[in-house]
Structure 1
Amino acid sequence: MAHAQAGEAPRTTPAPQSSARRPPTFRAVLRHRSCGRLLIASVIGRLALGTTPITLILAAQADGHSLAVAGLLAALYGIAPALGLPLLGRMADLRGLPLPCHLGAALVAVALGTLVLTGTSHLPLTAACVTLAGAGCPPLEGGLRSLWHTLLPDDAHIRTAYSLDSSSQEIVYVAGPAAAITIATWLSPAAALALAAVATLAGTLVFATARPARTWRPTHRPRSGSGALRPPAMRPLLMALVFLGATVGALDIAAVATAEHQHASWLAGAVPAVFSAAGLLGGVLFARFQPAAAPGRCLLLLGTVFAACWLPLLAPVPALATLALAVLPGALFVPLLTVAGLTVASLAPPGTSTEAVGWMTSAIRLGQAGGTALAGPLGGHFAVPLLAAALCALLLGARTAPAPAPAAA
């Protein structure tokens, strides 16, 4: 289980017998002190990650830029958190959660606020603001996962909490774009950007002022420039997560290409929506029936089956069948992400848990951007996410178990 932070002794106490037979539900996790507040606040604070890319495209087009330029701005925003999250996560592991959370939220608010006031006409200024808004994303996900270990009583509850958090991210990336499009259409793209800034500020403020976040203190971390990347198994795992992210990025383009090929425009949005909805269902089922296999073996098994689930999508089937087949990989995405998160936490050296989650998020976001960039020139075929999923599974075959802890003196 993950290395705990100060005041968060490693959870080695097994769950009660009843919990062993029936894993805790999402509701059981949220009943614990501050868990509901922290989860909801973190989701609101991360809402900009789902709303801003499409809003930037709409804003740039409204200001007269081409779709290519608008897409580049959205891609820049997608990549920028990969620069900032590990740094803010490391700051959290060194100084506590409030400082990097408030700093990140302030940077996002200033950057998006500037875009609201000036628009996107001046491209150098726009690119700088977009980069700052992405790189400044507060480390809410990493902070939340560090706090689970202080708030929950045993490993079973922590596994369910990780599944709950992974499932909630699907809400961000489904509800976020829909809300952004609605607001941009009814009001303006500037209004949607303003909402993203307000959501980031409000969610971060509620999260960082919660008592567990204010009192959480990191453990002593060994002096090492590599930080969370020090364990040998961490790098292949993060590379696997890059390819996992690439499957999602390539899926969006494949859905558009399939919609054009089948003359069913509705399919372009329906396929990613069904994929995400299936992910929510998969997360619920995974939490309900937690596998007894070791995380490393479970991770490899999920990765292999996830890759195999893309194969049926290669068949030339009708639009409704394509929609149904998208359920298969979608249902395994959140369980795979959950076990990957648990494995990253178990590999992270003491005092680096928030930074480790920052690297994990960065890897996935880089993969999403790369998958989107490559899928277009390759024709938007479902073979692209299949290949990415296969490479992910191959890399998951590398050693992902943490080194044995030294024997107590």
Structure 2
Amino acid sequence: MGAGATGYADILRAPHAARLLAGTLVGRLPNATAHIAIVLFTRAEGGSYTLAGGLAAAYGIATAIGQPLLGRAIDLRGQPRVQLPAAVVSALGMVLFAAVGLDSLLLAYAAVAVAGLFTPPLEGGLRALWPSVLGRQERVHRAYALDAVAQEILFTLGPLLITLIVSFWSAGAALLVINVIGVFGALSVVSSKPSRAWRSAPREAHWLGALRSPGLLALLGAFFFVGLALGSITVAGVAYADDHGRESIYGLLMAALGLGALIGGVFYGARQWAGAPERRLLVLIALLAVGYLPLALTPGVVPMTVLSVIAGVFLAPAIACAFIVVDRHAPRGTVTEAFSWLVTTFGVGAAAGTAAAGPAAEWGGTDWSFAVAGAGGIAALLVLMATQRVLAVPGRTTDIVSFEDEVYGQPKASSENDRNGAAEPGFSSGLEA
């Protein structure tokens, strides 16, 4: 743990690193809390679980469509021209949703769809910037782990912030405040020197873009079901809180899930891991699936909170490992798009999970809605088991060039990536992730 903390500190001391990480997290706050905010707002307006799940699903599907499209636009045109305008339009969509409420369902669905479609791909953008800012492969790998840990801080504090705003003001106010904060986060990122200078590697023209990689497709198939599991928990947690008569329980369970992932991520990033990351990911997904299954027992609040912490422990390690796998299998010049497809599959899966968990809660009870999460975890494991042969063949190697080298045109000696580690992503010299 001491070595891991030292490694994290080394990353954050690198020029621009802390600002990029913090700005990305703040900019992602609207997306990270959107499903929770939409569900709470819909319920506060008198909508059913099914309607809440449907609106959250519409947001998730729109996000899934927008992320790779915006990611490809960033690869072609750079980050500032895409990220900030998208963040503003997305925020305006949520403002419209808060203003119209459920008076016009057509307008409500359109508003959340716009918010989702224009969600800026800040995740993919940050992972594209890490190699240019940090340079060495081992630092980039640790940054992926730090990235995953930081996400779990976001997913731990995000639900608590939403419930706090709802408690003091309203669910509508939560939608407005969170999205205004998100715009400022995106602005912080795109105004930084690395973001303004970054360009993607030259890419081979192909209409499929990043999706022409079989290994990437296999990974995305598995993470669709991880997203399904997490999306179902969003709705199942609300049903559980309603069963126990306290809205605050929902925020507690979501925070517990994020806390577990935070703990797992810190321990995972505290050491170097040998061997192929594809095999390691298989083990992590298996443990993640096992952690989701007991949630269907729906015991009392205290044991349920403990189970939620356990369920989250292997999430951040699995995500950090998936970043490396994406990096190893993404075709040249598709860095942001490839990582955005990971966000997309998560979004589609989460949308499917929220859509399935709503009717499951109404017709079968809260335990059935949590059972959707367990089924999602098992399905993700089966996909990875079936595609291990495809995943065992990484798609490429790249070179590492630092931000200073690229900006000042004095590249240092570069090194070829280790096939047992991650291929390093790219800057305009040919880096890619």
RMSD over aligned CA atoms reads 2.9
Q: Judging changes above 3 Å, is the alpha-carbon distance between structure 1 residues 24 and 396 closer, same or farther for their aligned structure 2 residues?
A: farther
Structure 1 CA distance for aligned equivalents of residues 182 and 209 of structure 2: 27
Of 373, 384, 395, which residue of structure 2 is paired with 1:396?
384
1:291 aligned residue: 273
Q: Judging changes above 3 Å, is the alpha-carbon distance between structure 1 residues 51 and 258 closer, same or farther for their aligned structure 2 residues?
A: closer
* Match status 1:364 vs 2:356: no
Letter in 2 for 1:84: G
* Match status 1:194 vs 2:194: no
1:89-128 matches, within 5 Å, as 89-128=71-110
Structure 2 CA distance for aligned equivalents of residues 26 and 38 of structure 1: 14
* Match status 1:347 vs 2:335: no
Question: Is the 1:73–1:127 Cα contact (8 Å) retained in structure 2?
Answer: yes
Question: Is the 2:4–2:269 Cα contact (8 Å) retained in structure 1?
Answer: no
Of 328, 332, 347, which residue of structure 1 is paired with 2:310?
328
| 1:258 to partner: Cα distance | 5.9
Q: Judging changes above 3 Å, is the alpha-carbon distance between structure 1 residues 219 and 189 closer, same or farther for their aligned structure 2 residues?
A: same
| 1:146 to partner: Cα distance | 0.3
Unaligned runs of 5+ in 1: 1-18
Q: Judging changes above 3 Å, is the alpha-carbon distance between structure 1 residues 249 and 29 closer, same or farther for their aligned structure 2 residues?
A: same
* Match status 1:243 vs 2:225: yes
Structure 2 CA distance for aligned equivalents of residues 286 and 76 of structure 1: 34
Q: Judging changes above 3 Å, is the alpha-carbon distance between structure 1 residues 51 and 270 closer, same or farther for their aligned structure 2 residues?
A: closer
TM-score (norm 1): 0.85
Give identity over the alignment, percent. 36
| 1:377 to partner: Cα distance | 4.0
1:11 aligned residue: none
Q: Judging changes above 3 Å, is the alpha-carbon distance between structure 1 residues 89 and 28 closer, same or farther for their aligned structure 2 residues?
A: same
| 1:200 to partner: Cα distance | 2.3
2:159 aligned residue: 177
| 1:341 to partner: Cα distance | 1.4
Deviates more, 1:67-76 or 1:242-251: 67-76
Of 249, 256, 275, which residue of structure 2 is paired with 1:274?
256
1:40 aligned residue: 22
1:126-205 matches, within 5 Å, as 126-205=108-187
Structure 2 CA distance for aligned equivalents of residues 32 and 393 of structure 1: 37
Question: Is the 1:24–1:157 Cα contact (8 Å) retained in structure 2?
Answer: no
SS at structure 2 position matched to 1:309: helix
Question: Is the 1:55–1:184 Cα contact (8 Å) retained in structure 2?
Answer: no
Q: Judging changes above 3 Å, is the alpha-carbon distance between structure 1 residues 24 and 365 closer, same or farther for their aligned structure 2 residues?
A: farther
TM-score (norm 2): 0.81
1:75 aligned residue: 57
Q: Judging changes above 3 Å, is the alpha-carbon distance between structure 1 residues 192 and 316 closer, same or farther for their aligned structure 2 residues?
A: closer
| 1:275 to partner: Cα distance | 1.8
2:373 aligned residue: 385
Structure 2 CA distance for aligned equivalents of residues 315 and 65 of structure 1: 27
| 1:72 to partner: Cα distance | 2.4
SS at structure 1 position matched to 2:349: helix
Q: Judging changes above 3 Å, is the alpha-carbon distance between structure 1 residues 358 and 404 closer, same or farther for their aligned structure 2 residues?
A: closer
Structure 1 CA distance for aligned equivalents of residues 239 and 173 of structure 2: 31
| 1:338 to partner: Cα distance | 0.7
SS at structure 1 position matched to 2:313: helix
* Match status 1:220 vs 2:202: yes
Of 197, 209, 213, which residue of structure 1 is paired with 2:191?
209
Q: Judging changes above 3 Å, is the alpha-carbon distance between structure 1 residues 31 and 389 closer, same or farther for their aligned structure 2 residues?
A: same
Structure 2 CA distance for aligned equivalents of residues 389 and 295 of structure 1: 19
Structure 1 CA distance for aligned equivalents of residues 372 and 326 of structure 2: 26
Question: Is the 1:24–1:160 Cα contact (8 Å) retained in structure 2?
Answer: no
Unaligned runs of 5+ in 2: 399-415, 417-433
Q: Judging changes above 3 Å, is the alpha-carbon distance between structure 1 residues 59 and 264 closer, same or farther for their aligned structure 2 residues?
A: closer
Letter in 1 for 2:376: A
Structure 2 CA distance for aligned equivalents of residues 23 and 190 of structure 1: 39
